[in-house]
Amino acid sequence: MRDFLQQTLDGNRPVISSGRNTHLSWQWHDDGILELTPHQSTSMALVVSAGIHGNETAPVEILNALTTSLLNGEKPLMPRLLLILGNPPALRAGKRYVRCDVNRLFGGRWQQYEDTSEARRAWRLEQAMENFYQAGNNEEVRWHLDLHTAIRGSYHPRFGVLPLNQRPWPEDFLGWMAAAGLEALVFHRAPGGTFTHYSCEHFGALSCTLELGKAQPFGENDLTQFSAARNALAALLFGEPLPESGETPRRYRVSQQITRTNEHFTLHMSAETLNFTAFPQGTLLAEAGDKRYYVQQAREYVLFPNPNVAPGLRAGLMLVEDNQHNEVAGN
């Protein structure tokens, strides 16, 4: 097929929707949904998604370059692979989303929203993931990497957010995150409507949202900042050596969520507040009428502060360092 990203941006069904080369066969399932299957047997089923938010373009460019090498037969493919460009209309428009945030709609939450293109897309992506994982066997290792960039700058420019998981995270999975250049890992303690929570909860996938830098338009990304992530993805896809890990990522866990409960919501942070900014105990973080959010621990760090979300949605997360894990890691 033609360039996967360009095909998606064009919005037309490809003239040829399946094919094969020396290493793999491929099948175009839908707009921005492409499955690649290696000719040899494999023990891994990998989903890599990007563009869930249409203005987060660096991961899309990285993923597309790797995909082109596979489709051109230049590289072998190791796992069964499902590639997803999450929100094609938003990618075409260069917007985070058109009507509502796809990454709040998974796990059937799309049913609670009006009939929008994003609600239908979340349902379609759930279908695609279910079909992909069920086509394999119970012995496969299942991974899901959802590639994003953040709205704001960050004290940790590259970090991962892991969904609630009732099982311990395997060290080889966390080790891959370090090799991908992630400086911090954030562990959720509650369920959510994200794509990674859906894959982890429903299919037992080892899932992580990778935040790679700050959102920029197509063509304005300095992809050299993310060479470690690109090389770690290449190691998974092509069987190339995994890059040597740098420093072990700092570990944080979510201590509380700030929710915009109504239209009278005020977030007491400036537009320049960076992700992982620290606040001391007792600081007033946000308020909406009689509801007030304060820093409860000795020190908490903010993640994803955004006062402009719709009422009922998350306006920020507060984190504490997981010092036990950081000490075990030797930091």
Structure-token pair, residue 14: 């490809």
Structure-token pair, residue 11: 């919005």
Per DSSP, helices labelled H in 76-145 are: 88-93, 117-134
Rounded Cα distance, 232 and 240, in Å: 9
Task: Tell me: is residue 197 an annotated ligand-binding position.
Answer: no
| Per-position b or e across 118-150, b if 16+ CB within 10 A of its CB | bbebbebbbebbeebbeebeeebbbbbbbbbbb
* Residue 56: strand, helix, or coil: coil
Rounded Cα distance, 275 and 25, in Å: 41
Task: Tell me: is residue 39 an annotated ligand-binding position.
Answer: no
Backbone angles phi, psi at 84, to 5 degrees: -130, 125
Q: Count of CB atoms within 10 A of residue 68's CB?
A: 15
Rounded Cα distance, 30 and 14, in Å: 10
Q: Which amino acid is at 63?
A: L
Q: Respond yes or no: is residue 211 known to be catalytic.
A: yes
Rounded Cα distance, 260 and 178, in Å: 33
Which residue of the set 126, 183, 211, 300 is catalytic?
A: 211
Task: Tell me: is residue 148 an annotated ligand-binding position.
Answer: yes
Annotated binding residues for Zn(2+), as ranges?
Answer: 53, 56, 148
Binding-site residue ranges = 53, 56, 148
**Catalytically active residues, by annotation:** 211
